[in-house]
Amino acid sequence: MKLSFRGRTALILGGGSEIGLALAALLREEGLQTVPTHVSDAGLAAIAARFPGTHSPRLDLGERDLGTLGPVLDAGVDYLVDLAQADLEALLPSAGEAAEAYLEAHISGRLRLLKAVTRSMLPRRFGRLVFVSSTAAALPAPGQGLYGAAKRAAEGLYQGLGIELGARGMTTVSLRLGLVDAGRGRRFLDGAGRRDSLGETAVTVEQAAATLLFLLSDQALAMTCTTITMDAGLTARKYA
């Protein structure tokens, strides 16, 4: 099946991540322009190494000023892929000020960003917004309460936008990923022999990127105001 894309420009939050880089490569193969954001020097370096000369605005959801994205939004954005998420593992009863800042950034800060992005989409009456969530939104482990809560809240924001802006050509979907063989997921799998027991239920970077590509396509636009789980069956059964 050949995919088609009504829009031309994709803004990828967290574009320096392994999934972000892989998705950007697939989108470029389809002829789309990609704008990957970064929050750290390491993310910027990863983008520069993979796509030399690519403009990458810095974006920190914890900062109120989104000015670095101004020129990008003024030029027009058709697609948003939201991979922006910091890691914070803490038991809720002992969570301190860092927890409050984390929730402020990933809920209120994300809302500020989404308002700016959707305003950019409104004049063309088209926009596709995809949030990359986690199975921790439904089944958090101890210490993942803040992470899971932030993911659930973000899913709610995206669903609400799809409901409220659907008549103006905007659609939204959230993709809950399970164990991904990258970053924290890879470190988890490589520890204590977990890869032997859980390796078959790991999602590869290539699988995640290809699924996101499909969700952005015209063929997937009917998938809106909903959440899809992609975890290789991980949450369908108990595991140690």
Q: How far apart are CA 18 and CA 186, in angstroms?
A: 11
Structure confidence at residue 150 (pLDDT): 94
Whether 129 contacts 175, CB under 8 Å: no
pLDDT band at 90 (very low <50, low <70, confident <90, very high): low
For 171-202, what is each residue's pLDDT tens digit? 999 999 999 989 888 888 888 778 888 778 88
DSSP-based three-state secondary structure for 227? strand
Write down the pTM of the prediction.
0.94
- Tell me the CATH architecture of domain 9-232: 3-Layer(aba) Sandwich (3.40)
Whether 133 contacts 176, CB under 8 Å: yes
